[in-house]
Chains A and B, each alone.
Chain A
Amino acid sequence: MSPSQLRFDLRLIADMVAPKTRVLDVGCGEGELLKFLRDTKKVDGRGIELSMAGVAAAVRQGLSVIQGDADTDLKDYPAGAFDYVILSQTLQATRNPREVLEQMLRIGKHAIVSLPNFGHWRVRLSLLAHGRMPVTSSLGFAWYDTPNIHLCTIDDFIDLAQAIGARIERGLAIDSSGQIRPFTPPDWKANLMGENGLFLLGK
């Protein structure tokens, strides 16, 4: 797989991973990112995926993936087992985001987290203009059937990272046209213009 074939947000995550490291991808789907990291960066990758169909597809590609859940299964791993623990577009769907993030930084030297930004201007405008829960391109669910039970803004996430003593090593805000804006918090523009946020955290 060439970098151009990898989903845009996964490519940004892949760029944060150093070669020949140990990676745990939490919510790895069918293992697209793990396969890319294995093939291009010789990464020793593992995955956790909730859906059995995703797990089966990943294992069929020779990837080491288990069926499991970010909320319950991270506690099994020993401290410092991985160089990077990745959680892509999933933190907002976990039952206990704080604990998940703490676990990620316990078992990994770094955590890489991407999330939809509820502080994006479109979301703000949508709520202001219509008075209803926003449904946007990155948040495409009605309030009653969304898996996203813990939505937050980029600034909210930064607060959480600081609360658990994590160091934000890199922050990227990605706007709706795919423009990438590196930022160092606090940055009100990132929280307004970023449709998605991507963070590399350390301890």
Chain B
Amino acid sequence: MNLPPVLAPGGIDPRTQACSTAELGPLKLDCGVVLERITVAWRTYGTLNADKSNAILVCHALTGDQYLADSHPVTGKPGWWHTLVGPGNLFDTDRYFLICSNVLGGCMGTTGPVEINPQTGKPWGLGFPVITIGDMVNAQALLLDHLGIEQLFCVVGGSMGGMQVLEWAASHPRRVFAALPIATSSRHSAQNIAFGEVGRQAIMADPDWHEGDYHSKGTNPHRGLAVARMAAHITYLSEPALHKKFGRKLQNRQNVTYGFEADFQIESYLRHQGSTFVERFDANSYLYITRAMDYFDLAAEHGGKLANAFKGTPVRFCVISFTSDWLFPTRESRAIVHALNAVAANVSFVEIESDKGHDAFLLDEPEFHKTLQGFLDGAAEHRGLLPGRSVDS
């Protein structure tokens, strides 16, 4: 990320120009550190109704951010779920009030390693405390307090967003009416920790990383971060999807060059993914957020038994997985469903047929969207949220 870490007083921060921010806190972290004040940056879509019952919290994934449905202020690209949000759309902004906040540890305006440590006046860097999925959720809970929302109609998210959804349901069951964990797991698997570690080591091996102190050295470990992104990106796809899209096709050439240029389209594609990612993401944030995912283990937080996390839960769940997702495979969703059944929770579970791998939750998958719609409509009916213009204006 090439943004100035230290902004002059009164300077305009492009990352948060088009969203809301607030100073909240204190926040006691799982590691024991207390952050007296944190900044939370968020976007909302739609209008909160009079009894504040129509709020949906959308939890973003590892490299997502609060720009759910409008163009990204740094890259100019459309929001990561923009096709699903709007009047009359799946996330109907005439019916629901959507909130999406940048996670704690993120780099789009919420407190994280790229922000200024008030104690030192310099960016936190590796001085930032290690955070967890639970800390991210507690930061979101502070935001809800700030917005005066007692109970969310729904919490939804995919991948790391789904981890937050599960954490919300487990830690704040009374504040959640319905929960939609998508393409996720109740704990990061050994394989996922392994991929996280590859990414982190790539960043740390970049000489421009400087033990995380690159901001004050005026450098940026963009090569390491790009490699981390490239490796991770492979895990978001599937072998059939890669084969279908790229096969062994060559990039703008007839023959291989007997060198190490990007001969193959897949190489060129990954390099592009890496180089565009570093424009909008901070390397230290990547370390912290992947660590938070590694530490996530909902069963361990509840005496080693996942079902204990949901005992007596009033939350309505809809668990969704994708057939070709090998990063968060269906069996992990099924484990969540088994735990929910064990406490006789209200749960739906659908495995969507898709060859698009883990990324399917971000892509145009009509069956997935119909399932989301059906569950949301059913839950809204139970919550007494009317279709269309439910807003008391």
Contacts and interface: CB of A to CB of B under 8 A. Distances in A.
- To the question of whether A and B form a pair in one complex, the answer is yes
Interface of A: 44, 46, 52, 55-56, 58-68, 73, 76-78, 81-82
Given A59-B375, A60-B374, A76 B346 contact: no
A65 B342 contact: no
B368 to A, nearest CB: 9
Contact of B348 (A52, A59, A73): A59
Contacts of B379: 62
A81 B344 contact: yes
A132 to B, nearest CB: 39
11 contacts: A46-B346, A56-B352, A56-B371, A58-B348, A59-B371, A59-B374, A68-B349, A73-B341, A76-B342, A77-B341, A77-B342
B375 A76 contact: no
Given A60-B373, A62-B377, A77-B341, A67 B346 contact: no
Contacts of A56: 350, 352, 367, 370-371
Contacts of A64: 316, 346-348
Contact of A59 (B318, B337, B338, B353): B318
B343 interface: yes
Nearest to A38: B378
Contacts of B343: 78
B294 interface: no
A44 B344 CA distance: 12
Interface in B264-309: none
Given A56-B367, A56-B370, A66 B349 contact: yes
Contact of A55 (B342, B349, B381): B349
Contacts of A76: 338, 341-342
Contacts of B337: 66, 68
Contacts of A63: 348, 378
B344 A78 contact: yes
B263 interface: no
Contacts of A67: 349-351
A55 B381 CA distance: 20
Interface residues of B, number: 27
A160 B353 CA distance: 39
A66 B338 CA distance: 10
Nearest to B377: A62
A52 B349 contact: no
Contact of A61 (B316, B318, B378): B378
Interface string B359-378: 00000000100110111011
Nearest to A82: B344
Interface string B10-37: 0000000000000000000000000000
B341 A66 contact: yes
Interface string B301-327: 000000000000000101100000000
B381 A60 contact: no
Given A52-B350, A63-B348, A66-B337, 5 more contacts: A52-B351, A52-B353, A55-B350, A60-B370, A78-B344
A46 B347 CA distance: 8
Contact of B374 (A62, A73, A77, A82): A62
Contacts of B373: 60
Nearest to A59: B348
Tell which of A63, A66, A82 has the most Cβ of chain B within 10 Å: A66
Contacts of B351: 52, 67
Contacts of A58: 348
9 closest Cβ pairs, A-B complex = A62-B378, A60-B374, A81-B344, A66-B349, A76-B341, A59-B348, A76-B338, A64-B348, A64-B346
Nearest to B316: A64
Given A56-B370, A59-B374, A66-B337, A78 B349 contact: no
B221 to A, nearest CB: 44
A142 to B, nearest CB: 29
B371 A66 contact: no
B206 to A, nearest CB: 44
A46 B318 CA distance: 12
A67 B348 CA distance: 8
Contacts of A66: 319, 337, 341, 347-349
Interface in B54-92: none
Tell which of A60, A77, A78 has the most Cβ of chain B within 10 Å: A60
A82 B337 CA distance: 17
A52 B342 CA distance: 22
B107 to A, nearest CB: 36
A50 to B, nearest CB: 12
Contacts of A78: 342-344
B371 A77 contact: no
Contacts of A62: 374-375, 377-379, 381
A172 to B, nearest CB: 29
Contacts of A46: 346-347
A67 B350 CA distance: 6
A67 to B, nearest CB: 6
Tell which of A52, A62, A77 has the most Cβ of chain B within 10 Å: A62
Nearest to A78: B344
Tell which of A61, A64, A81 has the most Cβ of chain B within 10 Å: A64
Contacts of A81: 344
Contacts of B375: 59, 62
